[in-house]
Amino acid sequence: MTEQPLLPSDLPPLRVTSCGDNPKLRQKAAELAERLQVKTVSAADIPLPSLLLIYTEKGLQIQLKEKKIDGMLTVDFLSGAQTYRRLHGGGIKQALAKAVGVKPGIRPSVFDATAGLGGDAFCLACLGCRVIMNERSPILFVLLEDGLQRAYDNPELNILLADRLTLQTGDSRSILTASHSGTDTIYMDPMYPHRQKSALNKQQMRIIRILVGDDMDAEELLQTSLQKAGKRVVVKRPKGAEHLSNLSPSHCITMKNSRYDVYMINR
């Protein structure tokens, strides 16, 4: 199994800081820096170019400032976009829900092998599926951890999620290979090398791509998933893209800019 590097070597060194004078945020920044084995910097002392994890009053953010890009990412399950999707996204009739096998009275368990910023996993957990989201990028993992904690701290989301959304880190290929029993559905939304459109906005996608690369091992992940899923594997692909591994799915669910390739498991 070829391992992807956890952080591309051409990025500025990762540093951790906090916003303002809040001692709790400063303490959190120090603990995170220790966990990740990186240095803290004071907000007044930020080098350029920089790759910074910043604790703010609104949560943890990653900020990348270099010649070509100046942007930030955060995981916010309480954002306007997530709330709109939750309330007006079509419920169990939306394409993602159908693709993973949600039906009236049926809520499959889901292993989201490519969690990213967790939007798809969150959507499925809100619909009632028990979802494990797994992310290998250490930076996206700590953002997810922070976003998930804030979601569980929110009384409305806490009731809605009912402990159904959990988070793991590691390479999904190894985690699935080592696992015994099949989750009903394994869901994959790997980076696509020439992806044009995505549920994430352009800037978010650009930063994620810089942080995690192109997921060139997605074919291997599909092969492992097909061996381990209990009922189906779902792969999200951009519109017009070839099937992953050139493997014809059992059926496709097509949307405006993308589609879900669904592989039913018959063992």
Ligand X SMILES: C[S@@+](CC[C@H](N)C(=O)[O-])C[C@H]1O[C@@H](n2cnc3c(N)ncnc32)[C@H](O)[C@@H]1O
C-alpha 185/C-alpha 209 separation (Å) is 25
C-alpha 201/C-alpha 178 separation (Å) is 34
Query: Which residues, 240 to 259, sit near ligand X by CB under 6 A?
Result: none
Is residue 102 a contact partner of residue 112, using CB atoms and an 8 Å limit? no
Nearer to ligand X, 25 or 262 (CB): 262
Query: Which residues, 154 to 173, sit near ligand X by CB under 6 A?
Result: 171-173
* Residue 116 binding ligand X, by CB under 6 A: yes
Upstream peptide bond of 49 is cis (omega within 30 degrees of 0): yes
* Residue 114 binding ligand X, by CB under 6 A: yes
3-state SS of 161-213? HCCCEEEEECCHHHHHHHCCCCCCEEEECCCCCCCCCCCCCHHHHHHHHHHHC
In the complex, minimum distance from the CB of residue 195 to ligand X, in angstroms, rounded to a whole number: 8
Nearer to ligand X, 41 or 241 (CB): 241
Nearer to ligand X, 25 or 233 (CB): 233
Nearer to ligand X, 173 or 237 (CB): 173
Nearer to ligand X, 117 or 253 (CB): 117
- Nearest of 63, 23, 56, 84 to residue 147 by alpha carbon: 56
In the complex, minimum distance from the CB of residue 21 to ligand X, in angstroms, rounded to a whole number: 33
* Residue 221 binding ligand X, by CB under 6 A: yes
Stretch binding ligand X (CB under 6 A), from 61-69, 98-106, 158-166, 189-197: 189-197
* Phi, psi angle pair for 52, to nearest 5°: -125, 135
User: CB-based burial of residue 89 (10 Å sphere; 0-12 exposed, 13-18 middle, 19+ buried)?
Assistant: middle
The residues of the shown chain that bind ligand X, judged by CB under 6 A, are: 113-114, 116-120, 134-137, 140, 171-173, 189-191, 200, 208, 212, 215, 221
